[in-house]
Amino acid sequence: MVHQGDEMMAWADLHTHSAASDGQYSPSDLVRKAQTAGVEVLALTDHDTLSGTEEALCAGKACGIRVVRGIELGASEHRYMHILGLGMSDGGKALPALCDRLQRSRNERKYRMITFLHEKGIDLSLEDVERLAGGRVVARPHFAQVMVQQGYVSCVREAFDRYLDTEEYQKIERFKASAEVCIQAIRADGGKAVLAHPYQLEWDTEKLDRALKTLKTAGLDGLECWYPRHTRQMTEEFLALARKYELFVSAGSDFHGERIKPDIRLQPWNVNVDWLD
């Protein structure tokens, strides 16, 4: 990490997942892989849980990497609107309470998912999916991986494209809080709220501009401008919107592991990290 003018610049990856939610690697293995990839500041942003945080923090101290407490929350306004929480303090109450409700909904959803897949001719055993999840909350990638193992699809992406990320699937989706509720919980626990991978919303610049104006009013702090699937033009547009609404610029790979997202690797970007303090 180096100072550049008044800014603290570092090679950071602020959007990653571990086996505490739907990633491939344990939090400590993820941190070690990040060190090998040249990451200096790593945020663990598992879906709807902070359970891997302490393990990652300990591994970060051992490796000499700064690990940031993080989380990723799906918002109810759009199936691809995700809010990252970064830099929460230890001992917060708002996010654990929200996560408890979200995880109960995830646990209820797994029964609807197994029924949905059976109706599609995918004869999975819920026990096999739960065994793969290793006692953690069952998520869609766990179903997808078992579908690959049993030969129903050739890869995790195919499982999502054909079954687990379709309009029909949305009818059985779980409870999601509004973006404003997600932002409020993150900020109540001392974190910064960031809109993740805005390209997934598939909105034109004007529509995204209006949404960011609303989210900024709700307390949004940052925008994930640097992301593996953002084109150069997208990145430039997102950076311009971040400047317009005085949002912090975030960067993340959304790494889950090669088995889950084979085309996504841990990727450090040289960004200002002062705002995470």
Under-70 pLDDT residues of the chain: 1-6
40-67 pLDDT tens trace: 999 999 999 999 999 999 999 999 999 9
**pLDDT reported for residue 137:** 79
The runs of H, that is alpha helices, within 64-204 are 94-119, 126-133, 140-149, 156-159, 179-188
124-147 pLDDT tens trace: 999 999 999 887 778 899 999 999
Residue with tokens 């290793």: 134
- Where are the CATH 1.10.150 domain residues in the chain? 99-172
Nearest by Cα to 220 from 244, 254, 202:
244
- Are 142 and 117 a contacting pair, CB within 8 Å? no
Nearest by Cα to 20 from 48, 58, 46, 40:
46
Distance CA 102, CA 227 (A): 26
**pLDDT reported for residue 2:** 58
Q: Domain spanning 99-172: which CATH class is it, in words?
A: mainly alpha
**pLDDT reported for residue 134:** 85
**pLDDT reported for residue 5:** 56
**pLDDT reported for residue 92:** 93
Q: Quote the tokens at residue 127.
A: 């026990």
Q: Is the domain defined by 2-98+175-276 classed in CATH 3.20.20.140?
A: yes
User: pTM of this prediction?
Assistant: 0.89
223: number of Cβ within 10 Å:
24
**pLDDT reported for residue 174:** 87
Distance CA 155, CA 149 (A): 9
**pLDDT reported for residue 136:** 79
159-177 pLDDT tens trace: 999 999 998 998 888 899 9
- Where are the CATH 3.20.20.140 domain residues in the chain? 2-98+175-276
